[in-house]
Amino acid sequence: MMKLLKKRLKNEKGLTLVELLAVIVILAIVAAIAIPAIGNIIENSRYNAVKADAINVLNAANLYFTENNEETTVTVGTLKKDGFLDSEGKIPTESTISKAKGGHKLTTSAITYSGQKTVTFSNATIKEINDDSQEGSTDGDKTISTQTP
């Protein structure tokens, strides 16, 4: 039995250099495809996180305007100071929310969400933020604004 086992071990061959190089090339091709795709997913999630922050701020403003009927505008800083908002995320504290019948409107300065990429909200309502189809991975500054005057 021992002789048979030694004979089999002696006949075993390892990977040739060509086989090893083929595996490395295949792995390199898979990595070249996967890395940019993962980068786009990360960029899109950062963009969507800023949009979620904006919706959170608008919901807090809705509570504020419910309790303060006579007010027509409020800043994010005021919402946070008065306890209507725990965290503003990336939304600047000087950003304003205007009371409006069709939905409160958020106006901000440019918000950097990844590297040099920015998004600006200009009289944006929750509907416009949710309807936005832009992707964070595309180049250029983005603006989400009211479609109708």
Dump pLDDT digits (tens) for 115-145.
889 999 999 999 999 999 888 878 878 888 8
**Domain ranges, ordered by start, for the chain:** 17-145
Please report the beta strands in the chain, taking only residues with DSSP state E, as ranges in sequence order: 73-75, 96-98, 105-107, 111-114, 117-122, 142-145
Structure tokens at 100: 């409006």
Could you give the 3-state DSSP secondary structure of residue 16?
coil
Strand partners of residue 144 = 121
pTM of the prediction?
0.76
Cβ atoms of residues 103 and 126 within 8 Å: yes
pLDDT tens digits along 38-96: 878 888 999 999 999 999 999 999 999 999 989 999 999 999 999 999 999 999 999 99
